[in-house]
Amino acid sequence: MTGTPNNLVRATATIGGLTLISRILGFVRDMLMARFVGAGLAADCFYIAFRLPNLFRALFAEGAFSIAFVPMFSKELVAAGGDQQSGIRFAEDALSVLLPVLLLFTGLMQLFAHQIVWAMTGGFPGGDPAKFQLAVAFTQITFPYLLFISLVSLQGGVLNSLNRFSAAAAAPVLLNVTLIIGLVVFHTGDKTATAHAQSIAVTVSGIMQFLWLVWACHKAGIHLHLRWPSITPKVRQLLRVIWPAAIGAGATQFNLFISTTLVARYLVEGSVSWFYYADRLNQLPLGLVGIGVGTALLPGLSRAIASGDTTMASHTQNRAVELVLILTLPATAALLAIAEPLITALLQHGAFTARDSHHTGQVLAAIALGLPAYVLIKVLVPGFYARGDTKTPVRIAIISMLVNLVGNILTVFATDLQLMGIAYSTALSAWVNVILLYWTLHREAHFQFDARVKITGAKLLLASAIMAVLLLVVAKGLALWLVGSLLSRTLALSFLATVAIVSYFGIAFALKALTWRDLKTQLSRKKTSKATQ
Digit-coded pLDDT (tens) for 213-225: 999 988 888 888 8
Lowest mean pLDDT among 158-172, 288-302, 409-423, 473-487: 288-302
Instruction: Give the per-residue pLDDT at 136.
Output: 93
pLDDT averaged over every residue in the chain: 82
Those residues whose C-beta lies under 8 Å from the C-beta of residue 241, and which sit 6 or more positions away, are: 68, 72, 385, 388, 390
The CA distance from 221 to 117, in Å, is 42
CA 350 to chain centre: 28
Mean pLDDT of 398-411: 89
Mean pLDDT of 410-424: 80
Q: Say how many Å lie between the first and final Cα of the chain, rounded.
A: 23
Query: With 50 as the cut, is the pLDDT of residue 359 above it?
Result: yes
Query: With 80 as the cut, is the pLDDT of residue 10 above it?
Result: no
Lowest mean pLDDT among 134-143, 357-366, 386-395, 483-492: 386-395
Nearest to 306 by CA among 386, 249, 374, 394: 386
Write out 255-288 in H/E/C secondary structure.
HHHHHHHHHHHHCCCCHHHHHHHHHHHHHHHHHH
Categorize the per-residue pLDDT at 363 as very low, low, confident or very high, splitting at 50, 70 and 90: very high
- For the stretch 89-106, pLDDT in tens is 888 888 898 889 889 988
CA 45 to chain centre: 22
Mean pLDDT of 284-295: 64
Instruction: Give the per-residue pLDDT at 153.
Output: 82
Instruction: Give the per-residue pLDDT at 230.
Output: 84
The CA distance from 158 to 528, in Å, is 20
Mean pLDDT of 442-468: 89
Write out 417-484 in H/E/C secondary structure.
CCHHHHHHHHHHHHHHHHHHHHHHHHHCCCCCCCHHHHHHHHHHHHHHHHHHHHHHHHHHHCCCHHHC
Instruction: Give the per-residue pLDDT at 525.
Output: 38
Mean pLDDT of 190-204: 93
Q: Are 250 and 58 in contact (CB under 8 A)?
A: yes
Q: Are 365 and 421 in contact (CB under 8 A)?
A: no
Q: Are 408 and 348 in contact (CB under 8 A)?
A: no
Please, what is the Cα angle at 13 between 12 and 18, to 5 degrees? 100
Lowest mean pLDDT among 206-215, 360-369, 382-391, 503-512: 382-391
Nearest to 177 by CA among 153, 146, 201: 201
Number of helical H runs and strand E runs in the chain: 23, 0
Q: Three-state SS for 227?
A: coil
Categorize the per-residue pLDDT at 272 as very low, low, confident or very high, splitting at 50, 70 and 90: confident
Instruction: Give the per-residue pLDDT at 66.
Output: 65
| Domain ranges (residues) in the chain | 6-525
The CA distance from 126 to 338, in Å, is 34
Instruction: Give the per-residue pLDDT at 223.
Output: 83
Instruction: Give the per-residue pLDDT at 526.
Output: 38
Q: Is 7 exposed, middle or buried (0-12, 13-18, 19+ CB in 10 A)?
A: middle
Instruction: Give the per-residue pLDDT at 269.
Output: 82
Categorize the per-residue pLDDT at 350 as very low, low, confident or very high, splitting at 50, 70 and 90: confident
- For the stretch 469-503, pLDDT in tens is 999 999 999 988 988 888 899 899 999 999 999 99
Helices (H), 338-370: 339-347, 354-367
The CA distance from 157 to 224, in Å, is 12
Instruction: Give the per-residue pLDDT at 532.
Output: 33
Q: Are 343 and 361 in contact (CB under 8 A)?
A: yes
Expressed in percent and rounded to 5, the helix, strand and coil fractions of the chain are 80, 0, 20
The CA distance from 234 to 238, in Å, is 6
Instruction: Give the per-residue pLDDT at 12.
Output: 59
- For the stretch 502-524, pLDDT in tens is 999 999 999 988 777 665 554 44
- For the stretch 23-71, pLDDT in tens is 788 888 988 999 999 888 899 899 889 887 777 777 665 666 666 777 7
Instruction: Give the per-residue pLDDT at 16.
Output: 64
Whether the CA torsion 35, 427, 135, 121 is positive or negative: it is negative
More confident residue, 227 or 368: 368
Please, what is the Cα angle at 487 between 485 and 489, to 5 degrees? 70
Q: How many CB atoms lie within 10 A of CB 128?
A: 15
Query: With 80 as the cut, is the pLDDT of residue 121 above it?
Result: yes
Categorize the per-residue pLDDT at 527 as very low, low, confident or very high, splitting at 50, 70 and 90: very low
More confident residue, 416 or 396: 396
Q: Is 294 exposed, middle or buried (0-12, 13-18, 19+ CB in 10 A)?
A: buried
More confident residue, 34 or 252: 34
Instruction: Give the per-residue pLDDT at 524.
Output: 45
CA 53 to chain centre: 14
Q: Are 141 and 52 in contact (CB under 8 A)?
A: no
CA distances, 138 to each of 135, 269, 363, 447 (Å): 5, 17, 25, 45
Query: With 70 as the cut, is the pLDDT of residue 448 above it?
Result: yes
